[in-house]
Chains A and B, each alone.
Chain A
Amino acid sequence: MRHTISVLVENKFGVLTRVAGLFSGRGYNIESLSVGETIDPQLSIMTIVTTGDDQIIEQITKQLNKLIDVIKVVDLTEIDHVEREMVLVKVAPKQDDKAEVLRLTEIFRGRVVDSSPRTYTVEITGDEKKIEAFIELMKPFGIKEFVRTGKIAIAREGIKK
């Protein structure tokens, strides 16, 4: 099963390597990882998406907790949470399709952040399904490239203990 794990860490050099190395050294999978500062600049939050059965996820959580620079590990899959991801898609539609691309962008509440005579670069934010649906819809128009941020997630207030 897929799990979204939120890891609160010290904002120091080398911490990312420790976390990533733990996954590779023990043969666990990282599907996506995103890191950023928190309200306290001495701390960072990593959102890691990984797959494994219950025993593997338990080991991942325990092993992460063992790292000295890791302060807190929360498996968000177990609690109600909000997750978002962003993608930048560079599409190169034919002249006739341009209107359709813009229409779909609007439906997905996206924005065109760059345009050139041949291409639009569209920004879409949402959960994973939405991102993937948009990419699928753009494929027939000719995607030049896209970049995804990886998932970030936060627990919903009130339900979080």
Chain B
Amino acid sequence: MKMLGAQIVIECLKKEGVKHIFGYPGGVVLNIFDYLYDDKDIKLILTRHEQGAVHAADGYARSTGKPGVALVTSGPGATNTVTGIATAYMDSIPIIVFSGQVPTKLIGNDAFQEADIVGITRPCTKHNYLVKDVKDLARIIREAFYIATSGRPGPVLIDLPKDVTSDKTQFVWPEHVSLRGYNPKYEGNKWMIKQAAHAIQKAKRAVIIAGGGVIHSAATKELKELAEYTQIPVIMTLMGLGAFPGTHKLALGMPGMHGSYYANMAIQNSDLLIAVGMRFDDRVTGRINDFAPNAKIIHIDIDPSSIRKNVRVDIPIVGDARRVLKGIINVLKEEKEKNQWEEVRKAWLRQINKWKKEHPLSYEYDENVIKPQFVVEKLYELTKGDAIVATEVGQNQMWAAQFFKLNKPRSWLTSGGLGTMGYGFPAAMGAQVAYPDRTVIDIAGDGSIQMNIQELATCVTYKLPVKVAILNNRYLGMVRQWQELFFKERYSYSHLDTVPDFVKVAEAYGAVGLRAEHPSEVEPVIKEALKVKDKPVFMDFIVDWKEKVFPMVPAGAAIHEMMFGEEKKTKKEQKLRAVK
């Protein structure tokens, strides 16, 4: 049967099992929108900004593991997706973005609402396409989904000229994808896996660092098995939070710039580092020459270019985290008795516990002013940790990472690589679309939330009860913190003089607005918010503006050279501060 290109797009999405699209209409995509008008299987969520649509598709993908889909028009519609695409690219999130394009005959003519979006997004997509002939459409869509979701996942953009959506052709769904230049390698090298297992047997002070790759490859079960079987403690990067239960006795939290003292000390003193699905970001390693100086490094990653990009690696294993971990466990189980492990690790785990006691993650509670960490703790407590947590970027993100102990994968939505302010709220919205009955919280700052605040309208329209906890300190807090510590307290353009009344903003959109100005009001406000099931809630927490995120590794320092809160500062750290 011959079909219009627009209809082929919809049919392909159905074949891929797509239920929700996040989008925004415009001139050149009207053919597709016209088909969506009557469609019963696919629901389009009309956001209020294209950036919101892409972040929502991203949040949908992170929370479900399925690819998220966005549909926007040409020109400004397409360019508005760039931040969302770059965010997904840095964090390896599978999304498909369909952008409209001016008719093929007009491409290159500076036509109305024309932008070379394939050129613009080339460095921030895993791959992108300009469809020039309707006959290629079904094949390209099939390839796009395959590329986005396989290997190291990532965003793919498909640019659809208007005439391609209005041309007709026979619809043939390709059963197989064949791309001679793209064959992700899933099985790890057997010999390397054996080497890794032997290194684990020899090591006395081993530590695992799990990244987002563990979540992408659904390797949480295998990770837990390996850690428990060999009694090796587990550190999770910002992207890896939830890959291992945060409350487990072997969990050491996050490493790096705002990681825990004990995670960083464990890395620096380890004799074996088992890095799984993580890429040694500069925020994790600190000064690279002094990173894990005594450790042998095993690096498991599906992307060969991640290996030896930043750090030297002794045992590189290219492959899928789940299969490689399974392989290592099998070798270990064949070769050594289980009961020996606890004996081997005794001294090491005792040392780590000592570090835990020395500098636990902490803050000073104040009974007169709300501490932001207290809000995060209360959110954790009152949801019993069972929530999907999104964050914005900055202090709010770090406090959420430190104090909300995630126990499940795919319940953490944060822009780790790109660090996109304005990501959290639309991402939370996307997750809420996927899971209408779960509690979805965005932990935000008063700066970040204003970057995509328009999505309140979307949440109200679709009755999405996203809870936004605004840690309102009237500052761009992380910028302010750096200025206080490293720029002689010169708060250059970090003070947000005019912060709107968030309660009134929420109410103006038809959402619920609540405010807490005193520590005693925090719990009642959260409880009240959690009761709301049919509309979004803004919780405006007026928090201590002076509060900083600690511990902290200053830029350029090694990760054991940490700064703690004022009261705990040692001479060495004061010196570090003076140097800056």
Q: Which residues on A are within 8 Å of B, measured CB to CB?
A: 9-10, 14, 17-18, 21, 25, 55, 58-59, 62-63, 65-71
Contact = CB atoms under 8 A, between A and B. Distances in A.
Contacts of B303: 66
A62 B127 CA distance: 16
Contacts of A65: 304-305
B118 A14 contact: yes
Interface stretch (B1-9, B26-34, B178-186): B178-186
A64 B186 CA distance: 19
A18 B129 CA distance: 12
A65 B305 CA distance: 9
Given A17-B122, A25-B123, A68-B147, A10 B181 contact: yes
B119 interface: yes
Contacts of B182: 68
Interface in B519-567: none
Nearest to B182: A68
Interface in B297-326: 303-305, 308-309
Contacts of A14: 118, 122, 130
A71 B119 contact: no
A59 B309 contact: yes
B117 to A, nearest CB: 12
B304 A17 contact: no
8 contacts: A9-B181, A10-B181, A14-B118, A14-B130, A21-B123, A55-B308, A59-B305, A71-B180
Nearest to A22: B123
Contacts of A9: 181
Tier of interface size on chain B: 10 to 19
B122 A18 contact: yes
A14 B181 CA distance: 15
Given A58-B308, A63-B305, A66-B305, 15 more contacts: A10-B181, A14-B118, A17-B122, A59-B305, A59-B309, A65-B305, A66-B304, A67-B181, A68-B147, A68-B179, A68-B182, A69-B181, A70-B181, A71-B180, A71-B181
A55 B312 CA distance: 10
A159 B487 CA distance: 61
B120 to A, nearest CB: 11
Contacts of B123: 21, 25
A65 B118 CA distance: 20
Nearest to B305: A62
A65 B184 CA distance: 11
Interface string B121-162: 011001100100000000000000001000000000000000
Contacts of A71: 180-181
B281 to A, nearest CB: 16
Contacts of A67: 181
B478 to A, nearest CB: 27
Contacts of B126: 68
Contacts of B118: 14
Contacts of A69: 181
A68 B148 CA distance: 11
A65 B147 CA distance: 14
A59 B308 CA distance: 8
A54 to B, nearest CB: 10
Contact of A62 (B122, B147, B180, B304): B304
A10 B126 CA distance: 16
Nearest to A54: B308
Contacts of A58: 308
A26 B126 CA distance: 15
A14 B118 CA distance: 9
A22 to B, nearest CB: 8
A102 B181 CA distance: 48
Contacts of A62: 304-305
B42 to A, nearest CB: 27
A21 B128 CA distance: 14
A18 B309 CA distance: 20
A122 to B, nearest CB: 38
A25 B121 CA distance: 12
Nearest to B123: A25
Contacts of B308: 55, 58
B299 to A, nearest CB: 13
Contacts of B130: 14
Contacts of B304: 62, 65-66
B457 to A, nearest CB: 36
A12 to B, nearest CB: 10
B181 A17 contact: no
A127 B180 CA distance: 32
B119 A68 contact: no
A58 B313 CA distance: 13
B396 to A, nearest CB: 30
Nearest to A43: B180
A45 B130 CA distance: 22
Nearest to B127: A68
A21 B309 contact: no
A69 B182 CA distance: 8
A58 B127 CA distance: 22
- Identify which of B118, B126, B130, B305 gathers the most chain A CB atoms within 10 Å of its CB: B305
A55 B310 CA distance: 10
A10 B122 CA distance: 16
- Identify which of B119, B147, B303, B304 gathers the most chain A CB atoms within 10 Å of its CB: B304
Interface in B280-304: 303-304
A68 B180 CA distance: 8
Contacts of A70: 181
B181 A68 contact: yes
A68 B129 CA distance: 11
B311 to A, nearest CB: 11
